[in-house]
């Protein structure tokens, strides 16, 4: 018997076959959930839907009407909605000095307002994807990190407001991860070792690590309002400052996406 037998789940940000969203969809299907997967890029979604026995629908999480229609599709198809996972995000590079206000607004539109839309229309157990950058300043990603910090605050407010209705809201703060989006980063010579040395467990994360965390938060755990670092302990240390390494200077990690 699976942990999610009889449950209906939606997973946004599931278009990359090697990403966290797809890994979560596969894990949830293996645990018995009926699924609707979504993302802005529709093509790969249908392969994932076939693989997991679920449904697929294009959805831009930054568009409130898209999110409302996406959630309605799940309820129409399955008659209920139990679990909502929003793993969609927009990585953006730059420092405070070299980024525009428009850059910051674009980061907020997807990474914060997308989560707000999702919470308003979503399920009994909601899991949002934040970032370790929300709590730990990192080079090159100020607008992304600030948007994710707003998301973590939203999680706490939503957990307090919706808790009396039986709704729990949490976020996952990923650290460095091996994924389709970050594949270019790890191809830079020495980059993975530089990151792993700063992580107490001495490795970067894998998509299945985040699927494990999402399953725990989506299940019957007595947990709400948590911003959960899933980083091998990297929240206790720091990201490598690439500007300190002459051989890596100029390697903006977000360019890897």
Active site positions, annotated: 144
Whether the CB-CB separation of 15 and 39 falls below 8 Å is answered with yes
Roughly what angle, to the nearest 10 degrees, separates helices 114-121 and 142-162?
20
Q: Is 83 helix (H, G, I), strand (E, B) or coil?
A: strand
Alpha-carbon distance of 40 to 175, in angstroms, equals 23
Structure-token pair, residue 7:
């449950």
- Closest to 41 measured CA to CA, from 28, 23, 65, 22: 22
Residue that has been written with the tokens 């947990």 in this structure: 223
Integer angstrom CA distances of residue 60 from 38, 146, 186, 226: 8, 21, 28, 25
């Amino acid at each position: 018997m699976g942990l999610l037998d009889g449950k209906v789940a939606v997973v946004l940000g599931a278009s990359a076959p090697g990403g966290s969203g797809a890994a979560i969809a596969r894990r949830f299907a293996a645990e018995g959930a009926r699924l609707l997967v979504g993302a802005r890029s529709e093509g790969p979604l249908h392969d994932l839907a076939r693989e997991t026995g679920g449904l697929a629908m294009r959805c831009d999480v930054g568009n409130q009407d898209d999110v409302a229609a996406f959630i309605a599709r799940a309820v129409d198809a399955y008659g209920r909605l139990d679990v909502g996972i929003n793993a969609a995000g927009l990585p953006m590079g730059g420092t405070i000095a070299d980024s525009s206000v428009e850059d910051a607004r674009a980061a907020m539109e997807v990474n914060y307002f997308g989560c707000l839309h999702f919470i308003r229309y979503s399920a009994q157990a909601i899991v949002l994807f934040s970032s370790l950058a929300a709590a730990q300043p990192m080079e090159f990603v100020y607008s992304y990190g600030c948007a994710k910090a707003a998301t973590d605050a939203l999680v706490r407010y939503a957990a307090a407001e919706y808790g009396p209705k039986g709704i729990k809201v949490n976020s996952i703060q990923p650290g460095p991860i091996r994924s389709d989006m970050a594949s270019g980063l790890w191809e830079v010579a020495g980059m993975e070792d530089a990151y792993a040395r700063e992580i107490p467990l001495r490795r970067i994360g894998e998509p299945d690590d985040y699927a494990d965390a999402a399953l725990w938060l989506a299940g019957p755990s007595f947990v709400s309002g948590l911003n959960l670092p899933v980083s091998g302990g990297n929240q206790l240390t720091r990201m490598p400052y690439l500007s300190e390494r002459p051989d890596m200077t100029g390697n903006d990690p977000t360019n890897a996406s």
